[in-house]
Amino acid sequence: MTFNIPTPAQTLDISMDDGAIIRLRRHSAGERRLLLSHGNGFAIDAYYPLWRLFLDNFEVVVFDVRNHGQNPRHDLASHHINRFVLDFETIYARIPEAFGAKPTVAVFHSISATTGLLQNLEYGQRWDALLAVDPSLMPEPGHALYQNAHAFELKLRDWAVGRPQQFSSPNELAQSLMEIKRLSRWQNGSHKLMAWATLTQNSAGWELACPGTYESRIYDGNAKLNIWAQLIGLTGPVRFLGADPEIEGAWPPAFVNQAIHTELGLPYSCITETTHMMQIERPQAVAEELICFMHDAGIA
């Protein structure tokens, strides 16, 4: 399968107060708006298998977090989760000015989901509803899941620094992604789509839009982030959507998000037979959960 992402109906480059640029793309029109962003080291165009399902009936607005995807690279010192929260606040303020005011459901994955949760805790409800897709949250030290979750973030931190940064073409990266066993659940064509979305061309060929040093910095910060006890203070319609903790080799977020529901009582659903990258593995199932969530929130 080949995915051909349509040209946006409107593009908006927003300047953050430190000079970083984040590019928003509006792909369609509708009475309700979906706002989507992605996980650490990825790019939102790679999630097209999911958001294309909503183009006929929703206004779909997508963006990459700073130093990812289509955004120009900014300095490393400001590449951290607290800065991401400020970015999301700027985006929240600018969207109604640029695209008009309408019900907006945020669909944020992994690090963008964590950012959306922090934004909610610090500033109150921002979006009409927030679907937090498999955020990589840390339980409190001493929790039964803490050690595995913490060690996993540090493992990713070290991996990101050493991963290949330069490629002869997107096809080279796509091929290497296809050879990774844990990515075997991805839909056909998704590995190539991910390569094109996460690479940028330079004089020597192609390089990661988000360098390993930047990606690693986020994993390191996430390992130190402890908002477990604060989660019960979330306001507005919020639902956690977790990967399947019962599949072989399930990553820590699958167990942590399940525990957020069982221990803290927060709304939660699980997409069976999926990993952390469920939007690329079972986009139709994720779309159905999103519609159900919107219906429960009175937005669908």
User: Cα separation of 179 and 172, whole Å?
Assistant: 11
User: Cα separation of 99 and 68, whole Å?
Assistant: 23
Estimate to the nearest angstrom the gap between the alpha carbon of 209 and the chain centroid.
Answer: 16
In this predicted structure, what is the pLDDT of residue 174? 98
Q: Edge to edge, what strands does the sheet with 104-109 contain?
A: 10-15, 21-26, 59-63, 33-37, 104-109, 129-133, 238-242, 268-270
Sign of the Cα torsion 45, 50, 55, 61 reads negative
Coil, helix or strand at residue 210? coil
In this predicted structure, what is the pLDDT of residue 2? 82
pLDDT at 1 over 80: no
Query: In the block, which residue shows the tokens 């183009």?
Result: 55
With cut-offs at 50, 70 and 90, classify the pLDDT of residue 204: confident
Query: What's the predicted TM-score (pTM) here?
Result: 0.97
User: Cα separation of 117 and 124, whole Å?
Assistant: 10
pLDDT at 300 over 90: no
Estimate to the nearest angstrom the gap between the alpha carbon of 204 and the chain centroid.
Answer: 29
User: Cα separation of 237 and 298, whole Å?
Assistant: 10
With cut-offs at 50, 70 and 90, classify the pLDDT of residue 95: very high
